[in-house]
Structure 1
Amino acid sequence: MLNLDDGPKLAEKQEFNFTSILLAFIIVGAVTATNIWWNGSKAQAQTVEYEKYFGYGFSFEYPRGTTLNVSGFGGIAANESAGVLSGFLEGEDQLLEEIIIIWSPPEPVPRLEEALENVFGSGQNDTSFTIKQYGNSSKDGHDLLYAYFTASNPDTGAWSGVLGIWNCTQTGRMFTVYLAYPGGSTLQGDLETCFQQFLESFRCHPFERFPGKMRPARRNLPDAVADLVNVSLMVLLCIGFTFTFMMEKFPNFAHVNYATIGSMVSFYMVRAWGFDPYDTWPFAALFGGAVGVILYIGVVRPIGERTRKWTRDIVLTFTSFVIAQMLVSITGIFSYWVRYYSLKIPSRGFVLKVADFNLNGLPGISLIGPLACVVLVVGLHLFLTRTRSGISLRATAEDEDLAAVLGINTFHAHIASWFISGALSALAGSIITLWRGMGFGGSDDLLISVMAGSALGGLSNIYGAIIGGVLVAMAQKTLSYVLLQLFGLGVKLWERLFPIIFIYVIMTVMPNGLTGLKDPLQSLRSLRAQLKRLKSALLVLK
């Protein structure tokens, strides 16, 4: 509780220290300059190094430096049943290699010859293909049809490549593999050697097949590390979302779009200016925080002051949705500019995994990401409980009118809250670029999960957001794993419904979240009563 006698003290505590902020900028700049100088002096090796990809029930090796992107079919996200993986390896001024892997349900009567002809016939009208050689072989016991070809296009020039197609009977999928080399210059040896090396590294059925379902192999350390990184990302996003709700009293639907902005900043600084990915984190956080402050000063505050009090929250909620769509459009415009005018590289997503370092076979982000999350959570706790500005934020969130009476500058408190929430989300986006990559709609996929985590922990408690983020991330993973064991791959198509189910259960059983739960039995009785009413309504409809 706030004490009126503490008013002058709180007013004195809430002032921000400009010297501390300037010192932080100096430290960040010094570290970044040292890293650029150190890395720039190292000679790059000329040999081709390879990394291993695991995902969607198959694995293969690819040249280090290749940018990988995964997409789905017909508006459905990629899953073990169908999807497309594309990879681009770029040199200083040209594309060195292109990899495309397509997996889809097999044809009732497999006819690989027709499938191969359809692939070559699906090119653009201004692209001409010439088949140089057909061949038949086997891949892991499956019949394989392949063909070497040359192609040319007025815009992209000439290239040579190879395409292979086979049906994997163990997993019930058809694989199409496409390798292309502009100008006919391969990475190592001739085209046939490259294709054979790729096939030797490719495993199309690392899972065991069971009637009606596919069971993943035993979870290993990398899977557990992946869960830890996902939990860390969810915690950062939930903290920012809850922080904004506590200060403004409305859900900011544009919050997770700051993550796309952070990934955009890191991507451009690495690809255009040669920064180390980790050195871009402070800049991405500062940029995301600045965007949050601009949105508050230019949009949220003016609309809030001009709207009637009883309609303010709903108006600002719709406003945040419009802002979210605007940020998505800006991201698309930026990608178009990068691809065709600035860097002239494919940027249908922001992926920097190839720029990460490895430690004992694990990507560096699997260690740095969770560690950064812990440091930020501890730092935020100390900031809110031990510093002048943090105490002012807590007082404003609890009762803004009383905080103003006590002499606290509530305008500065709101600006600080928007900066912190924007910075945390943008930093999460930078981490995502090193972990799995961020697409244009990637942040939209996170929104429901973040809302579920914040609601589970309690929208009026920062520490509840930490608990809710951890529980939702682990529950999604565990529930998907269990249902996949029971019902097979078809469950993956419904995976995005899980957070919505979480929100419904949470709002029904404990609308105030875990931190506001006083009588669990009463909450369960309320859920039982609502289920009965739902059943009665369904009977009436029948």
Structure 2
Amino acid sequence: MGVLEGAVTYANLLTLLALGLTLTYITTSVPNFAQGSFAVFSSYLAYFIYKIFNATPYLSVPFAVLFGGLIGVVTYVAVLRPLIKREASILILMIATLAWDLILLGLIGIFSETMSKLLGTYASKFIFPYYLDYKLFGIQGIFFSSTLAIIVSLAILLFLLYRTKFGIAMRAAMENPSLAEIMGVNVETTRLFSWFLSGAFAGLAGALLPFKQEIVQATGQIIIVSIFAASIVGGLSTLYGAIVGGYLVGLSESLVTFWLSKFFGTSILVYSKAISLAILIVTLLVIPQGLATINWRRYIWRSKP
């Protein structure tokens, strides 16, 4: 896979994950540190389905999406909702997602070890071989599949939010939960559905991620750095920010690291997350609210003669 193709593919998947993180933050004000593990758990499920049925991993996508959505629902119902009812602070809720992430890491370990015994092969670390992917115009299919995944996901999300009554209720609950509840909106239902969507986006990204990189049990804890960087750089309070941040961080992380490897050798590739952290730090210092909050029209108008 070419460098640019790989960078766009990674940016597509990172944007999906950032969208999920931003969606749940807007609806419940909780920064979900388990978002990466949602995706990785779905990656292991996709690998298990592939090994069992010996078919293209793309067939596992619907199951991974539903599985990710289920994890999202369980996270909200079993972990966060009881704390929210007790009026727990944002700090407590954040720590709860960190604890839940560790629990998911343990469950992923149990699942992978059980899978290894069932399949009679080592399954704790894997990547989908390139020959399992299709090719189109000489380009690996994951490039087109990840692009289609983000386009379809955005289309569904925009249609839901702006063309359906439930979507309007979701937006109202995002803007002002108390007022929305007074107006008859079931805020609890909108929160529950937002966590399902967040998990579904993570499941979709997780099913495709093994085409791009090797998956290990702790991959979720590694990729969460990039997910948070993408959401915060774009603007954690807006879905459009997740798109901007996802592509900015995803492309920068891949392309800048590749450029640096020409001077410092391939060993520099393991430090790719440093690029995300650098972009995050600069954004927090210069534009704390994220790129999507900038009034670009004002700057464009001022630049005109």
For residue 511 of structure 1, give the secondary structure of its aligned residue in structure 2: coil
1:241 maps to which residue?
Answer: 21
| Cα drift, residue 480 of structure 1 | 1.7
Structure 1 residues 319, 339: CA separation in 2 closer, same or farther (over 3 Å shift)?
Answer: same
Relative contact order, higher structure (CA 8 A, sep 6+):
2
1:289 corresponds to which residue?
69
Where 2:272 maps in the other structure, the secondary structure is helix
Structure number with the higher helix fraction is: 2
Paired with 1:516 and 1:365, the residues of 2 have a C-alpha distance of: 32
1:272 to 52, 59, 63: 52
The structure-2 alpha-carbon separation of the partners of 1:248 and 1:233, relative to structure 1 and needing over 3 Å to count, comes to same
2:246 counterpart residue number:
469
Matched, 1:253 2:33: yes
- Name the aligned partner's letter for residue 79 of structure 2: V
Read off the aligned partner of 1:452 and give its amino acid letter: A
Q: Which amino acid aligns with 1:370?
A: T
Written as runs of structure 1 = structure 2, the 5 A alignment for 1:348-367 is 348-353=124-129, 354-367=131-144
Q: Which string of whole-angstrom CA distances, capped at 9 and with x for unpartnered residues, describes residues 235-288 of structure 1? A: 101100111111111210001111012112211111113443222111110111
Instruction: Map 1:441-480; keep pairs closer than 5 Å.
Output: 441-480=218-257
Q: Distance in 2 between matches of 1:491 and 1:335?
A: 29
- Partners of 1:349 and 1:491 in 2: how far apart? 22
Alpha-carbon distance, 1:222 to partner: 2.3
Residue aligning to 2:112: 335
1:324-473 maps to which residues of 2 (within 5 A)? 324-340=101-117, 342-353=118-129, 354-473=131-250
Deviation of 1:515 after TM superposition, in Å, equals 1.6
Number of equivalences: 297
Structure 2, unaligned runs of 5 or more = 297-305
Distance 1:496 1:374, change over 3 A: same
Structure 2 Cα separation of the partners of residues 462 and 500 of structure 1: 21
The answer (yes or no) to whether the contact 2:254–2:272 under 8 Å persists in 1 is no
For structure 1, which segment, 269-278 or 243-252, has the greater mean C-alpha deviation from structure 2 after superposition?
A: 269-278
* 1:143 alignment counterpart: none
Note the alpha carbon deviations across 1:165-199, whole angstroms, 9 max, x for none.
xxxxxxxxxxxxxxxxxxxxxxxxxxxxxxxxxxx
Deviation at 1:385, TM superposition (A): 0.8
Cα contact 1:263–1:350 (8 A) shared by 2? no
Question: Matches of 1:404 and 1:482 in 2, distance apart?
Answer: 51
CA RMSD of aligned residues (A): 2.1
Report if the CA contact (8 A) 2:34-2:220 is conserved.
no
CA distance, structure 1, for counterparts of residue 62 and residue 267 of structure 2: 41
Shift of 1:349: 2.2
- The CA distance in 2 between the partners of 1:441 and 1:222, in whole Å, is 26
Q: Deviations over 1:113-161 (max 9, x none)?
A: xxxxxxxxxxxxxxxxxxxxxxxxxxxxxxxxxxxxxxxxxxxxxxxxx
Identity over aligned pairs, percent: 30
Q: 1:489 to 1:346 in 2, by over 3 A?
A: closer
Give the match for residue 321 of structure 1.
98
Q: 1:268 to 1:494 in 2, by over 3 A?
A: closer
* Alpha-carbon contact 1:429-1:438 (below 8 Å) kept: no
Separation (CA, whole Å) in 1 of partners of 2:209 and 2:139: 16
Greater per-residue strand proportion = 1
Residue 236 of structure 2 aligns to a residue in which SS? coil
Choose 1 or 2 for highest CA Rg: 1
2:81 is aligned with 1:301: yes
Q: State the 1:487 CA deviation.
A: 4.1
- 1:338 maps to a residue whose letter is M
Q: Which moved more, 1:428-437 or 1:475-484?
A: 475-484
* Aligned-pair CA distance for 1:352: 2.7
Report the Cα offset of residue 488 of structure 1.
4.2
Instruction: Output the CA distance in 1 between the equivalents of 2:152 and 2:272.
Output: 31
CA pair 438-243 structure 1, distance change in 2 beyond 3 A: same
Structure 1 letter corresponding to 2:49: M
TM-score (norm 1): 0.52
Residue type of the alignment partner of 2:291 = L
For 1:511, the aligned partner's letter is: P
The code of the aligned residue for 1:236 comes to L
CA distance in 2, matches of 1:482, 1:275: 36
Q: In the aligned structure 2, how far is the partner of 1:474 from the partner of 1:492? A: 14
Q: Could you say if the C-alpha distance between residues 478 and 269 of structure 1 is closer, same or farther in structure 2, counting changes exceeding 3 Å?
A: closer
Query: Which position in structure 2 is the counterpart of 1:517?
Result: 294
Question: How many angstroms does 1:441 deviate by?
Answer: 1.5
